[in-house]
């Protein structure tokens, strides 16, 4: 394949240039800071885009037109305006809360999602955290989030938040199993945990095509479990508005609430991003073996466009699900996981192992 947009060359040139004028540790520090700023900026910008998208998509499902006033006809500036508003809101701490844990919780939640966010393969050479157990790191880092949710619910000293937190804890811990197993299914097929190699391995066709039936099943299981992991409808019972007002973050205000809100949307993005990475080829363009002309044309589209395009497609799918179904009850959610989803995931894992052993994958 031809790679016109590899960032590797650019980054090494920058690194070499920096090393030429200063000691290497200074150069590394500067690079880290720059990358950190880029991550945070990207994080915020993508969250704004997703919130806008959610509003518009949900409106369309509900026969409405959504934001339409602020910033011209499309309401483009609605979300930035809301962000501005939430930034200048008072961060109110109710009496009787456990102050330390109460203030810590939103940061834990946002930390978990920034960690996982940095593992996404944006482009060839655009992978920020590169390690040989990348996908494992993603699973581990995303588990920190539930800690924040539990702490938020516990420290708020309210019955509603406590119930929301307990629900959320029970649910997320259960669904991590399905996520883990479905990711493992793909790891078995690809033979690597390294995110870069996972993507590179899909140059001759995305995993979902290469792994055919078991891969498609694993993809569906991953989407359902990932949706639950991101606390989104129909699994949003941790913050079930109609039952628990706002669940675990009822007592939060201002930017503390904003962190939860942001993390929720970014978890959605991360879920979709990871799905894109391991099933839909990450930044890898669509390649059909044998059609060289077609493949060459596809290579002209930059990797980041592919990545974002596929991710947003998955996000749309998840939004479509969210805005269609009623919410499940806590026992039904656990039934779904333990009686249907996890057994299915295990069956798919065995099936995939078998296919891989027999060489039935492409």
Residues at the contact surface with other proteins, assessed by CB under 8 A: 58-65, 68, 159-160, 163, 233-234, 236-237, 240-243, 245, 320-321, 323-332, 340
Angstrom CA distances, 218 to 126, 188, 191, 312, stand at: 27, 12, 16, 19
Do 149 and 166 form a contact (C-beta atoms < 8 A)?
no
Angstrom CA distances, 194 to 84, 145, 226, 284, stand at: 38, 23, 20, 15
Distance of closest approach, residue 329 Cβ to other proteins, in angstroms: 5
Distance of closest approach, residue 63 Cβ to other proteins, in angstroms: 5
Q: How far apart are CA 38 and CA 302, in angstroms?
A: 19
Do 222 and 183 form a contact (C-beta atoms < 8 A)?
yes
Of 224 and 355, the one with the shorter C-beta distance to other proteins is: 224
Of 28 and 57, the one with the shorter C-beta distance to other proteins is: 57
Distance of closest approach, residue 36 Cβ to other proteins, in angstroms: 37
Of 122 and 323, the one with the shorter C-beta distance to other proteins is: 323
Q: How far apart are CA 351 and CA 161, in angstroms?
A: 41
Of 50 and 199, the one with the shorter C-beta distance to other proteins is: 50
Q: How far apart are CA 94 and CA 249, in angstroms?
A: 12
Distance of closest approach, residue 147 Cβ to other proteins, in angstroms: 22
User: Which of these, 108, 211, 115, 209, lies nearest to 154 by C-alpha position?
Assistant: 108
User: Which of these, 205, 284, 290, lies nearest to 3 by C-alpha position?
Assistant: 284
Residues contacting residue 317 through CB under 8 Å, at least 6 positions apart: 223
SS3 119: coil
Q: Tell me how long the chain is.
A: 362
Distance of closest approach, residue 223 Cβ to other proteins, in angstroms: 12
Of 54 and 176, the one with the shorter C-beta distance to other proteins is: 54
Of 100 and 320, the one with the shorter C-beta distance to other proteins is: 320
Distance of closest approach, residue 159 Cβ to other proteins, in angstroms: 5
Of 59 and 131, the one with the shorter C-beta distance to other proteins is: 59
SS3 334: helix
Backbone angles phi, psi at 127, to 5 degrees: -80, 125
Q: How far apart are CA 160 and CA 168, in angstroms?
A: 12
Of 66 and 180, the one with the shorter C-beta distance to other proteins is: 66
Do 258 and 266 form a contact (C-beta atoms < 8 A)?
no
How many Cβ atoms from other residues are within 10 Å of residue 192's Cβ? 17
Distance of closest approach, residue 231 Cβ to other proteins, in angstroms: 13
């Amino acid at each position: 394949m031809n790679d016109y947009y590899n960032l590797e060359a650019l980054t090494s040139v920058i690194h070499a240039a920096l090393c030429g004028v200063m000691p290497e540790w200074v150069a590394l520090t500067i690079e880290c800071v720059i990358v950190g700023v880029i991550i945070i900026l990207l994080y915020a910008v993508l969250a704004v885009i997703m919130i806008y998208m959610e509003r518009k998509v949900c409106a369309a499902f509900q026969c409405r037109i959504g934001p339409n006033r602020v910033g011209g006809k499309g309401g483009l500036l609605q979300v930035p305006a809301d962000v501005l508003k939430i930034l200048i809101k008072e961060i109110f701490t109710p009496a009787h809360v456990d102050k330390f844990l109460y203030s810590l919780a939103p940061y834990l939640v946002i930390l978990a999602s920034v960690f996982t966010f940095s593992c996404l393969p944006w482009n060839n050479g655009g992978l920020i955290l590169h390690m040989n157990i990348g996908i494992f790191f993603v699973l581990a880092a995303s588990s920190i989030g539930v800690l924040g949710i539990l702490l938020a619910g516990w420290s708020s000293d309210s019955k509603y938040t406590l119930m929301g937190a307990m629900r959320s804890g029970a649910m997320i811990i259960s669904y991590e199993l399905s996520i883990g197993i479905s990711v493992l299914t793909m790891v078995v097929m690809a033979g690597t945990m390294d995110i870069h190699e996972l993507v590179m391995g899909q140059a001759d066709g995305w995993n979902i095509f290469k792994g055919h039936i078991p891969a498609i099943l694993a993809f569906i299981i991953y989407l359902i479990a990932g949706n639950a992991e991101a606390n989104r409808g129909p699994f949003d019972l941790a913050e079930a508005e109609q039952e628990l007002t706002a669940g675990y973050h009822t007592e939060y205000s201002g930017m503390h609430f904003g962190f939860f809100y942001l993390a929720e949307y970014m978890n959605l993005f991360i879920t979709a991003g990871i799905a894109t990475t391991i099933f839909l080829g990450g930044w890898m363009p669509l390649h059909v073996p044998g059609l060289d002309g077609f493949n060459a044309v596809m290579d002209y589209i930059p990797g980041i466009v592919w990545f974002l395009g596929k991710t947003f497609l998955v996000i749309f799918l998840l939004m479509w699900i969210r805005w269609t179904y009623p919410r499940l009850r806590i026992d039904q959610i656990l039934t779904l996981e333990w009686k249907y989803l996890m057994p299915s995931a295990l069956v798919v894992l065995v099936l995939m192992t078998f296919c891989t052993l027999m060489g039935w994958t492409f």
